[in-house]
């Protein structure tokens, strides 16, 4: 599976504040996904450098970092429909995983 995970408000508890407290279990959940062989991308609207610093700060290995896109361009109409891209909230991610 290819999985994109946001930082602020998803891996942390504060959606509008940089470097907010990390949610309990979030980093370990990411590590488990990597260990299981999933392609994990950590992204942020704050940019690639911010995502890279976050990953380095928490010692997360085996992920790719990038900036969250402002525009998604794809040949599939309705790519953002709920049936096309699965969206799960931070609580569900930590509690149940993917």
The CATH label, of 3.30.420.40, 3.40.50.1000, 3.90.920.10, 3.10.250.10, for the domain at 2-96 is 3.40.50.1000
Q: SS in 3 state form for the chain?
A: CEEEEECCCCCECCCCCCCCCECCCHHHHHHHHHHCCCEEEEEECCCHHHHHHHHHHCCCCCCEEEECCCCCCCCCCCCCCCCCCCCCCHHHHHHHCC
pLDDT per residue as tens digits for the range 78-92: 666 666 667 778 888
Q: Which residue has the higher pLDDT, 83 or 38?
A: 38
pLDDT the model gives residue 51: 97
pLDDT the model gives residue 92: 85
Q: What band does 71 get if pLDDT is binned at 50, 70 and 90?
A: confident
pTM of the model: 0.85
pLDDT the model gives residue 86: 72
Domain ranges of the chain: 2-96
pLDDT the model gives residue 36: 97
* Dihedral of the alpha carbons of 88, 21, 24, 12, in degrees to the nearest 10: 10
């Amino acid at each position: 599976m290819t999985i994109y995970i946001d930082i602020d408000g998803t891996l942390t508890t504060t959606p509008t504040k940089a470097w907010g407290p990390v949610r309990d279990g979030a980093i370990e959940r990411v590590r488990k996904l990597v260990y299981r062989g999933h392609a994990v991308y950590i992204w942020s609207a704050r940019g690639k450098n911010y995502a890279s610093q976050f990953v380095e700060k928490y010692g997360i290995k085996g992920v790719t970092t990038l900036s969250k896109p402002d525009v998604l361009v794809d040949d599939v109409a309705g790519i953002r429909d709920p049936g096309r891209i699965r969206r799960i909230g931070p609580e569900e991610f930590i509690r149940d995983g993917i």
